[in-house]
Amino acid sequence: MSSESETPSSAPPPPASQPDQQALQDDESKSVSKKAAKKEAAKLEKQRRRQQEAAASIAAAALNLSVEDDTLAANYGDVPLPELQSKDPADIGNWMEVGALSEALKDQRVLVRGRAQTIRSVSKNMAFVVVRERGYTVQCVVTATPDVVSRPMVKYVSGLSRESIVDVEGIVSVPKDAIKGATQQVEIQVRKLYCVNKALPSLPINVEDAARSEVEIEKALQAGEQLVRVNQDTRLNFRVLDMRTPANQAIFRIQCQVGTIFRQFLLSEGFVEIHTPKLIAGSSEGGAAVFRLDYKGQPACLAQSPQLHKQMAICGDFGRVFEIGPVFRAEDSYTHRHLCEFTGLDVEMEIKQHYFEVMNIVDRLFVAMFDSLNKNFEKELEAVRTQYPFEPLKYLRNTLRLTFEEGIQMLKDAGVEVDPLGDLNTESERKLGQLVLEKYGTEFYILHRYPLAVRPFYTMPCYDNPAYSNSFDVFIRGEEIISGAQRVHVPEFLAECAEACGIDVKTISTYIDSFRYGAPPHGGFGVGLERVVMLFCGLNNIRKTSLFPRDPLRLAP
Amino acid sequence: MSSESETPSSAPPPPASQPDQQALQDDESKSVSKKAAKKEAAKLEKQRRRQQEAAASIAAAALNLSVEDDTLAANYGDVPLPELQSKDPADIGNWMEVGALSEALKDQRVLVRGRAQTIRSVSKNMAFVVVRERGYTVQCVVTATPDVVSRPMVKYVSGLSRESIVDVEGIVSVPKDAIKGATQQVEIQVRKLYCVNKALPSLPINVEDAARSEVEIEKALQAGEQLVRVNQDTRLNFRVLDMRTPANQAIFRIQCQVGTIFRQFLLSEGFVEIHTPKLIAGSSEGGAAVFRLDYKGQPACLAQSPQLHKQMAICGDFGRVFEIGPVFRAEDSYTHRHLCEFTGLDVEMEIKQHYFEVMNIVDRLFVAMFDSLNKNFEKELEAVRTQYPFEPLKYLRNTLRLTFEEGIQMLKDAGVEVDPLGDLNTESERKLGQLVLEKYGTEFYILHRYPLAVRPFYTMPCYDNPAYSNSFDVFIRGEEIISGAQRVHVPEFLAECAEACGIDVKTISTYIDSFRYGAPPHGGFGVGLERVVMLFCGLNNIRKTSLFPRDPLRLAP
């Protein structure tokens, strides 16, 4: 009953046929067509059905084997549902993390749970399973041994589908040679192996394919081998699989750390974290690019930023506040750096004397953040770099500050003509980034005193020249990540500024009224979390740093 | 030119006539009528215009005085705008926080910025100003003294409007007697006083009125004095003023701390903070109570919870994740404990053996949180208690766990009949809370093994009895704050569960598909931030713990 023909999938599953063999495009993600997605889904559904049948027959075969032929059947098999619903809570098990396995555990019995990343059947007597947990991998060896491991067990293991969740119990051994295919330099000599949850036998993306760097693909191509390249859209369609690559595991841990440092730094400086509403009456300050909805019969929209409410918190005596929350932009931007929903890091604070007080916070906060990432997230940065090579960010101990006029002059000296009172376009920003890097050796700097005309109406003009303003942008690797300014806190003057910008003062009366009950001078800034991570890691697309990105064409998964 | 008649507002402004003298209602906030709000706004607008004229005349008078009569005119007056736009950034000033003023600074010269909370003119030669910064207050004394403080300066100070922002420079003195009207037990003998920003002479809410406790009002009433009582809706209409009360300053600092502890605890336990999209295709799992909108031509809705996406993050190998973010519910709930938008604290984690692993996190997390609040936020809790008296929360070192069946039995024994397989209503929850407090001496406990029928379709049934489920609710002071469970991670079984609940499986295929690529057993829970703060502080309305609450009738400010 154990002939090969009966269990056709005991060999490692063949690479899945899939739609992602196409070349990695320009990553601008314009190409998600609904039709293609539907087609892919239908294909997948068909595949799934076929494979469910296959899986059922495997299970049946396994059952037959264990019941009829195997006295060691209790050592392997599929974990039945009731056991996953509730083991004895008192029996907490002796679980170990894959990442914690080391030579110190030699000859000890360990128990791990992870995914069967790759399964390799060597013979009827031996199989290898690389088990992965949170990016760490260990090689597990299943060898048929009398009274310990049966041949049917080797067969069962060989038939596991990749990415299935398995519990492995065994003895730690230390092989003579270095292990190439796993992060941990020990093996587990398997005694027991149970499958907790089965993955489809054929996956829409293989995690190894998704983890491959462009360099590797190119190298293989030169050697005449065509490796699978998973494009950005396919990754996002099957994000649950894509997330499992070492680079993605690292990217979102880095993202978490950016938020953590942001918070810790600000809390230590006396800031209070607030939560402001995302549902706003009427249409937000900006105007055009908002998502509108009906709120119990009232017209409403989603907040484009917590601008109004964070300023109200300042007028409400909180002194210094920050918020981390979603920000919604209905813009039709199809670039590598725009999303329709992203995580905003927003700060607002009283100013005693000068808008530099706000810039000082930016300066110290970001230097602390970069230091912390470089120091404490070396392993994660390396995981990103392995798939997406990048140079460490160059930044100074005290962040460089240039006035807008100085920036314009640098561009001019380099032969780039730009409007001295207009905004910089993406190209000029890149160019200026390059010039600054050459001259000052930094890829992180502040450009301040922007022309008033290119800033929002509530921006405080400069005292000495109302054509400029007490405002700033901050750049990483030539791209803007932060926008900040001192705000106009005098209600009468604010109304004048709004009118001067052609805004009907009646439509923003709630905003202006907030300053009528005594308002301290104040300022603040906003940062896009995804952009910080993207630019710190030198990535080429903001979709890589958003767990479930939303752009004009993507609203799923 | 300095006769009293010319500056009619040099006396403290009379209490503003306002619509909030009505009794504090049942706080269920059913009473926001748009008409009333409009009327109030119109009234305010009229008031404002009148007062602007008044303010202008005061300013003109002050100018006259300073120019014509006063050689010490440089020591006081309104700070001109250019100076607020930019002082020399190098001259950082010698600012001190009001809360830091103490006897140790006796005879030293200090500089503070704060609000003129109350202004009391004693004579032409003397005035008192209580200056408040972030809830801390100090009494400032302005005494006409040859060559130091002029009579016009005393007059200028007497004419300040309450809540205006002022810069005060002076010498710290220590009076013999305790100072009743201020938190700091020193005075500032004023040398210079400038007004940075003027509040309207008459405010829609006086901060002192808004800070008054019900007890105080009742006591005064018994003594024949009718004090102003600011009702909940008026507070929210003028939240910028209401926020300035010591209780509100404390409540939102406590809220910040709850979030901070939540995060710190989870990070220390290996959780990763994620950000999931609030814009969701189609209509969310639940169905009815979602806010719908058009997303670039596609039907979309606002996420009712990050349920799907946090589970996807688990299937994506993050192991343990959490999120802090807005959650949207379009329900028509007009209770003291429901909002249409609130801050969700969401957790999801792999389960190795038993759903108690999730409950263990809840247990340790919340005990740590309560401990930290009681230990480090004593001053803030006292500020809340002063206005809204409450008893400290009673909780055990190891959180009490009762099964649903045990809870039902306790109710039964107390003569309360409830459906043993139905949900508890608010009343039964309250009653059970009371019984638990009497029997076990705790106001914080976990009720688990809920009937399966009253939980969402993705809840894992109990292994020994499918009428019950691996789920739990957590209660504070008899009200539910947390809902959690083990989830069904087997896609085929999940589809069955959905069908059994009458859900069309096609509509949730994305959700179910996430589990087809290998899904570990997992569970999690969700908490409402505002509810935790409300119940920990024994407050009677969730609108008190939301900075800008949203309910079916309120979408502003």
Residues 98-117 of A with CB under 8 A from B: 113, 115
Q: What are the structure tokens assigned to B257, written together?
A: 């701390």
The letter for the amino acid at B12 is: P
Does the beta-carbon distance from A277 to B341 stay under 8 Å? yes
| Structure-token pair, residue A518 | 């005594």
What are the tokens at B301? 């809705």
Domains and CATH numbers, chain A: 4-197 (2.40.50.140), 207-242 (no CATH), 246-545 (3.30.930.10)
CA–CA distance, B148 with B111 (Å, rounded to integer): 16
Report the alpha-carbon distance of residue B422 to residue A92 in Å, rounded. 31
A333 band by pLDDT with thresholds 50, 70 and 90: confident
Three-state secondary structure call for residue A376: helix
A155 touches chain B (CB under 8 A): no
- Give per-residue pLDDT as tens, B230-239: 999 999 999 9
Test mutation, A84, A267, A309, A356, chain B, max B CBs within 10 A: A84
Over residues B313-360, the pLDDT tens digits come to: 999 999 999 999 999 999 888 999 999 999 999 999 999 999 999 999
Is the confidence at residue B2, as pLDDT, over 60? no
Structure tokens at A504: 């009907």
Q: Which long-range contacts (CB under 8 A, 24 or more apart) does A259-262 make?
A: A259/A324, A259/A343, A259/A345, A259/A529, A259/B273, A260/B263, A260/B267, A260/B273, A261/A365, A261/A368, A261/A369, A261/A372, A261/A373, A262/A322, A262/A324, A262/A345, A262/A365, A262/A369, A262/A527
Beta carbons of A84 and B521 less than 8 Å apart: yes
- Could you give the CA distance from residue A445 to residue A312 in angstroms, rounded to a whole number? 29
pLDDT at position B522 is 98
In this prediction, residues A26-46 reach a mean pLDDT of: 49
pLDDT in tens, B476-523: 999 999 999 999 999 999 999 999 888 888 888 888 999 999 999 999
Q: Where are the alpha helices (DSSP H) in A323-425?
A: 356-376, 378-387, 404-413
3-state secondary structure of B95: strand
3-state secondary structure of B341: strand
Residues of A in contact with B260 (CB under 8 A): 263, 267, 273
Note whether A521 contacts B325, CB cutoff 8 Å.
no
What local confidence, expressed as pLDDT, does residue B15 receive? 31
Does A555 contact B at CB distance below 8 Å? yes
Model pLDDT, residue B70: 84
- How high is the pLDDT of residue B181? 87
Tell me the C-alpha to C-alpha distance, in Å, between residue A247 and each of A36, A131, B204, B233.
Answer: 27, 18, 55, 50
What was the pLDDT predicted at B43? 56
Chosen from B52, B86, B166 to mutate, greatest number of chain A CBs within 10 A: B86
Contact between residue B449 and residue B406 where contact means Cβ atoms under 8 Å apart: no
pLDDT at B26: 32
d(CA A199, CA B516): 6
Closest CA to B462 of A197, A196, A167, A84: A84
In which band, very low, low, confident or very high, does the pLDDT at A40 lie, cut at 50, 70 and 90? low
Instruction: Say whether residue A551 is in contact with chain B using an 8 A CB cutoff.
Output: no
The closest of B313, B359, B366 to B473, measured between CA atoms, is B359
Listed residue (B2, B72, B494, B165) closest to A316, CA to CA? B165
Distance of CA B12 to the CA centre of its chain: 31
SS3 content of chain A, % helix, strand, coil (to 5): 40, 25, 40
Does residue A270 carry a pLDDT above 70? yes
Q: What is the pLDDT at residue A125?
A: 96
Query: In the structure encoding, which two tokens stand for residue A238, read together?
Result: 């099957």
Given this model, what pLDDT does residue B11 score?
31
Q: Which residues contact B160 (CB under 8 A, 6 or more apart)?
A: B116, B119, B129, B166, B195, B198
Contacts (Cβ under 8 Å, ≥6 apart) of A509: none
Quick one: pLDDT at residue B253? 98
| B43 touches A at CB < 8 Å | no
Residue B38: pLDDT band with limits 50, 70, 90: low
A454 touches chain B (CB under 8 A): no
The pLDDT of B457-470, averaged and rounded, is 94
Which residues does chain B have within 8 Å of residue A249's beta carbon, measured at their own beta carbons? 317-318
Query: CB B313 to CB A243 under 8 A?
Result: yes
**A280 vs A294: CA distance, rounded Å:** 11
d(CA A302, CA A286): 12
* A98 Cα distance to chain centroid: 23
Checking if the pLDDT of A64 tops 50, the result is: no
Distance CA B255, CA B373 (A): 10
Asked if B166 contacts B137 with a C-beta cutoff of 8 angstroms, the reply is no
Closest partner residue to A520 among B196, B241, B278, by Cβ?
B196
Measuring CA to CA, which residue among B284, B42, B60, B58 is closest to residue B157? B58
Distance CA A536, CA A254 (A): 10
pLDDT score of B170 more than 90:
yes
State which amino acid sits at residue B424. L
Alpha helices by DSSP H, listed for B466-521, are: 491-500, 509-513
Among residues 237-256 of chain A, which lie with CB inside 8 Å of chain B? 238-244, 248-249, 252-253, 255-256
The confidence score (pLDDT) of residue A2 equals: 37
Q: Report residue B283's pLDDT band, with 50, 70 and 90 as the boundaries.
A: low
Query: ω into residue B557 within 30 of 0, thus cis?
Result: yes
Beta bridge partners of A347: A322, A525
- Compute how many other C-beta atoms are within 10 angstroms of the C-beta atom of residue B83: 13
Chain A contact set for B354 (CB, 8 A):
86-89
Nearest CA in chain B to A241: B316
Buried/exposed B309-333: b ≥16 CB within 10 Å, e otherwise: bbbbbbbbbbbbbbbbbbbbbbbee
Bridge-based pairing of strands B320-328 and A320-328 is unpaired
Strand partners, B467: none
- A4 pLDDT tier (thresholds 50, 70, 90): very low
State whether B243 and A113 contact (CB < 8 Å): no
CB contact under 8 A, A518 and B276: no
For B435-456, the pLDDT digits (tens) are 999 999 999 999 999 999 999 9
When the pLDDT of each residue in chain A is averaged and rounded to a whole number, the result is 88
> Which of A470, A531, A547, A553 to probe the B interface (max B CBs under 10 A)?
A547
Pinpoint the alpha helices (H) of B307-355. 307-315
CB contact under 8 A, B294 and A292: yes
Which residues in chain B have their CB less than 8 angstroms from residue A510's CB?
556-557
Closest residue, chain B, to A470 (C-alpha): B85
A348 lies within 8 A of chain B by CB = no
Active-site residues of A, by number, are 329, 331, 337-338, 480, 483, 531
Which positions in chain A touch B343 (Cβ < 8 Å)? 275
- HEC string of B198-254 equals CECCCCCCCHHHHCCCHHHHHHHHHCCCCCCCCCHHHHHHCHHHHCCCHHHHHHHHH
Indicate left, alpha or beta for A211 from its phi (over 0: left) and psi (-120 to 50: alpha).
alpha
pTM: predicted TM-score of the whole model, two decimal places: 0.87
Closest CA to A331 of A284, A294, A401, A391: A284
Mean pLDDT of B265-276: 98
Q: Report, in this order, helix, strand and coil percent for chain B, each rounded to 5.
A: 40, 25, 40
Query: Which residue from A328, A350, A353 is facing B92, i.e. has the nearest CB?
Result: A353
Contact with chain A for residue B317, Cβ under 8 A:
yes
What is the torsion angle, in degrees rounded to the nearest 10, for the CA atoms of residue B465, residue B468, residue B472 and residue B476? -120
Q: With contacts defined as CB-CB under 8 Å, which chain B residues touch A163?
A: 517-518
Q: What are the backbone angles phi and psi of residue B41, rounded to the nearest 5°?
A: -65, -45
Take residue A330 and report the two structure tokens written for it: 């209905």
What is the percent of chain A with per-residue pLDDT over 70, rounded to a whole number?
A: 85
**CB nearest to B85's CB, from A81, A86, A462:** A462
Residue B34's pLDDT band, with cuts at 50, 70 and 90, is low
DSSP element (H, E) containing A445: strand A444-448
Cα separation, B303 vs B329, in Å, equals: 8
Q: Which H helix or E strand runs over B123? A: strand B109-123
CB contact under 8 A, A510 and B134: no
Helix (H) or strand (E) holding B62: helix B34-69
What confidence tens digit (pLDDT) does each residue in A160-196 have?
A: 999 999 999 999 999 999 998 899 999 999 999 999 9
* B197 Cβ under 8 Å from any chain A Cβ: yes
Calculate mean pLDDT across residues B59-82. 72
pLDDT of residue A282: 78
Residues B270-296 as b or e (16 or more Cβ within 10 Å = b): ebbbbbbbbbbbbbbbeeeebbebebe
The strand pair at A471-476 and A444-448 is best described as antiparallel
How high is the mean pLDDT of chain B? 88
CB contact under 8 A, A520 and B353: no
Question: What's the number of CA atoms in the CB half-sphere (13 Å) around residue A263?
Answer: 24
Find which of A118, A530, A548 to mutate to test the B interface (most B CBs within 10 Å of its CB): A548
Closest C-alpha to B478, from B446, B432, B441, B447? B432
Query: Which residues are CB-contacts of B245 (< 8 A; sequence separation ≥ 6)?
Result: B207, B210, B211, B387
The sign of the dihedral angle between the CA atoms of A162, A163, A167, A169 is positive
pLDDT tens-digit map of A238-258: 999 999 999 999 999 999 999
Contact A516/B48, CB-based, under 8 Å?
Answer: yes
From chain A, pick out residues whose CB is under 8 angstroms from the CB of B522: none
* Residues A264, A270, A273, A276, CA torsion sign: negative
Q: Are B139 and B128 in contact (CB under 8 A)?
A: yes
Nearest to B550 among A277, A470, A515 (CB): A277
Average pLDDT over residues A441-451: 98
Strands (E), A98-201: 109-123, 126-133, 136-143, 165-173, 187-197
Contact assignment for A517 to B199 by CB distance below 8 Å? yes
Position A283 scores a pLDDT of 63
Query: Measuring CA to CA, which residue among B326, B331, B351, B240 is closest to residue B291?
Result: B331
Q: Higher model confidence: residue A90 or residue B362?
A: B362
Is residue A131's pLDDT more than 50? yes
* B179 within 8 A of B130, measured Cβ to Cβ: no
